[in-house]
Structure 1
Amino acid sequence: MTGTLRLPHTPFSLRAEHLLNTASAAMARAWPLLVALIYLDCLAGILLGRIAHDLTQILWHLVAIALSHVLATLGCRIDGRISLHAFPHSARARKEIVICWMSLTVLIGLLAAACASTSAHPLPLQWLVRSLVCAISLVLALAAASRIGRLRAGLKHALYAASCPAK
């Protein structure tokens, strides 16, 4: 393959792409509000006498900022749309599959940890921050799973096309 191949859409990949575009456009506008929410949460914790912040609470705040920044950055792309269907050269596609699998593993781990972890003295808005981490992790995990499926289908298509003799 010499160029970029556009693969056919599947119902799952269409929904994942639409969800990713909608969420990233919303996060691109709302990202400063998230940072303000985190500052407000920390300030409320200080004012309510919970100065000794748990390390896990600080970690959740950093994870929420990082994931929302990733989602907001995806929403600020030049054309404003994210495509999960462009297919690069096969060597790059294999590397991208490995990266997507690693990202998917991390995102699922964050999702599970955000749903299961508790703190002895939670900050007032800690539930909102963890809910946001869950939602963003889920959106990015669905996008990664869709991208893995499209890349695998593209590799199969490329191998099939390479094995067929030219007429």
Structure 2
Amino acid sequence: MAPAAAEGGGRMNILGRLFPRSLTNAYQGSWAAVWLLAPVLIIKTMIGFNFSGLNPFISVSEVLQTVDGVPLDTFSPAAVASIISSAGAWGMALFALCLFTWLVVVRYRAGLPAAILLLLIEQVGRTGVDTVGLVAEVAATRAMPAAGAVINLGMTALLTIAFLLSLLRVKHLN
């Protein structure tokens, strides 16, 4: 009976770290998770800022064509406007999600596992099927994918590792 209780208690501890009763600055996970999260969060914040249209020096259509490999010049003007509008809406949502995550990193670190999970859900939800296809295509043709695809694959890997590390209970030295 004791091992089963300990096993269930372990699940409760992980759920407790994922969904803490209060959002304090008492982070219990591995600090390696924060170090893996930091570059991803910086990149995602910049991407969200740029795609949202808030950056006057970046053209969303140029980024879509050069980084993501979207052939906008082959679409009708209405389709291009729709694609740019959708990219802007996603960029604003991503920027807001990143600002929330920065708030958690700075002030409410007990919520880091949940914040990392939200970023991971956004990342995998947006790129999941494409990532599987990308890996299969690269394996079959050895062709280099678009820069955006490589960046997304790297961010997915870093966020996955950061999420798992954030759930580990680590004793921190005071």
TM-score, normalization by structure 2 = 0.44
